[in-house]
Amino acid sequence: MVRTMTNAAIVLLALAGCGQAPDPSPTITGKADLQQIAKDARRPDITAEKIAGDMVGKKVSIPEVHGYEPAEQWTFAASEIRQVNIQEMTVTSAGETLVVFVTTGSIPRPKKTNIQIGGKLELQYEWKTDKWVLATIRNLTVRYTPAAPA
């Protein structure tokens, strides 16, 4: 009988040890991840207004809508009116990648062909020195349309 009870106790102890393993204690890497998450939580959002301002002075090659004219090297000017609509935002290891729909155009001038542009751009932002910095702009679908002179 003692032998049966001993065997039963051994089986019960063995089964008790078959449960889920306890969570490992936090490692240095885990603590660094928590610190990074805390830093990320303090980062401001990238807004449409910020994007419109960050685009000033940036250049992008824009083809004509029908392909009849050569592509224009467009430089976003501070004086032009820009509409920016954020369509997608993806967090990457380098920062954030956004897809925006933008419309703008050249400032009307007498005897000069005006240009209207619209379409999607991919913007890559990097977090540098406690602020978001626009690193690259890639044209996805932006095209220009020549308009008659003013």
In this predicted structure, what is the pLDDT of residue 146? Answer: 83
Q: How many CA atoms lie within 13 A of 115 on its CB side?
A: 19
The CA distances from residue 80 to 51, 74, 75, 117, 146, in Å, are: 14, 12, 10, 12, 16
> pLDDT, tens digit, for every residue of 21-44?
455 444 444 455 555 555 555 789
Indicate the pTM of the whole model. 0.69
For the chain, give every domain's residue range. Answer: 45-150
- Write the DSSP symbol of residue 107: P
> pLDDT, tens digit, for every residue of 45-93?
999 999 999 999 999 999 999 988 888 899 999 998 899 999 999 998 8
